[in-house]
Chains A and B, each alone.
Chain A
Amino acid sequence: MSQEVKKTIKKDDRKAIPIFFVILFVSMIAGGVIGFCVGMLREGIDVKFADMLNRFIVKALPYGLYGVIAMVAIVVIIACKKSRREFYVWDGEDEEVLNKIEMRLGYALWMVSLHTIFNFFVFSASICTGLLDRVHGDKWMEMIIILGGFILGTAAVTIEQQKLVNLEKEMNPEKSGSVYDVKFQKKWMDSCDEAEKYQIYQCAYKAYKDTNSLCLILWVFCTISGMYFDFGLMPTIIITLVWGTMITSYTLESIHMSKKN
C-alpha cells in the first residue's frame, strides 16, 4: 500500500472520529436518562397500559383480520382490472402509461406482502394471548373466526399474488415462473435481464441497511422496555438471531463472491 493511500485512510478516520465519539457520548447519556426514567415510572405506576393493550388486541384482531382481507382484495381487484384495461388499449408509444401501470402493480404487491405478514402476526397473537385455548363454552366461535380468518387470509394472498404476477407476465412475456412453484423466485430472477437484476440488488442492499438500523433500534427498545413490561429475554434473543443471521449471510456471501472473482 502506498504512503499516499495510507495517509488518505488516516485522514478520513481522523475527520470522522470526533463526530463518532460525540454521537456515542450523547447516546450513552440519552440511554442512561431514559433507563433511569423508566425505572422511576415502574416504581410509581400500575402496569395497566400493557393489560389494556393486550385486551384491545385480543378483542379487535379477529375482526380486523377480515377487514384487512376484504380491503386488500378490493385494492388488488381494482388495480388488476384498471391495469389490464389500460394495457390492452395502450398505443405502444406512450411510455408513461406503462410506467404508471408498473407503479400501480408494485404498490398492490407491496400491500399483499404486508397482508401476508399481518396474517401471520394475528395468528401468533391469537395463540400467545390464549385465544385459541378457549375450546369450551361459547368460545368455540372465537376459535373458528380466528382459524377461518387465517386460512382465508392465506388463500387470499396466494391468489392475489398469482393474479398480479400473471398480469406482469402478460405485459412482459419474457418473464417466467408460477407463484405455486417452490422455485418461483429463482425462475423469476433468471428471467430478469441485467438492468432488472441490478435494480433488485440495489433494493436488497437498501433493505439490508434499513434492517441493520432497525435491529439496533429494536435492541434499544427491548433493553429499556424490558424493565417496564417485564417480558423476559426472548425478544432480545430473537433480535440477536435475526441481526446475526443477516450480517453473517451478507458477509459470507461477499467472501464467497470475492473468491469466485
Chain B
Amino acid sequence: MPLVNHLKEFRAKISVNQQEMGQLTGVSRQTISQIERGDYSPSVALALKIAKVFGVTVEDIFEYEEDEV
C-alpha cells in the first residue's frame, strides 16, 4: 500500500494507547491498529480528525509514496 503513516509515533508523543486514540477520534481500537499496520487507509474525514487530535496537518501523519513503474 503506497500510504505511509506516522500515527504510532505521534500517538507515543502524547502518550495515548490505541483504545484512547480510538475514543478521541470516534473509531474503534481495531481501526487505529489497522491504520498503523497499513492494512487500512482512513477516509478523508477520519484522517482530518486524527490530524486535529495531534494539532498537525494530515500530510504530517500520512505520506503518499508513488508505486515504482
Contacts and interface: CB of A to CB of B under 8 A. Distances in A.
Interface of A: 92-93, 95, 98-99, 102, 172, 174, 192-196, 198
Contacts, number: 36
Nearest to A102: B30
A196 B28 CA distance: 8
Interface string B13-30: 000011110000011111
Contacts of A194: 27, 31, 42-43, 46
B17 A195 contact: no
B29 A195 contact: no
A93 B17 contact: yes
Contacts of A196: 28, 30-31
Contacts of B30: 102, 195-196
Contacts of A95: 17-18, 29, 33
Interface residues of B, number: 17
Interface string B27-58: 11111011100001011001000000000000
A95 B36 CA distance: 12
A196 to B, nearest CB: 6
8 contacts: A93-B17, A102-B30, A174-B28, A193-B27, A193-B28, A195-B28, A195-B30, A195-B34
Nearest to A172: B28
A45 to B, nearest CB: 54
Contacts of B34: 195
Contact of B33 (A99, A172, A198): A99
A93 B29 CA distance: 12
A92 B42 CA distance: 23
A95 B40 CA distance: 17
Contact of A193 (B17, B18, B19, B26): B26
Nearest to A98: B29
A154 B7 CA distance: 45
B17 A92 contact: yes
Nearest to B18: A95
A27 B39 CA distance: 38
Contacts of B40: 195, 198
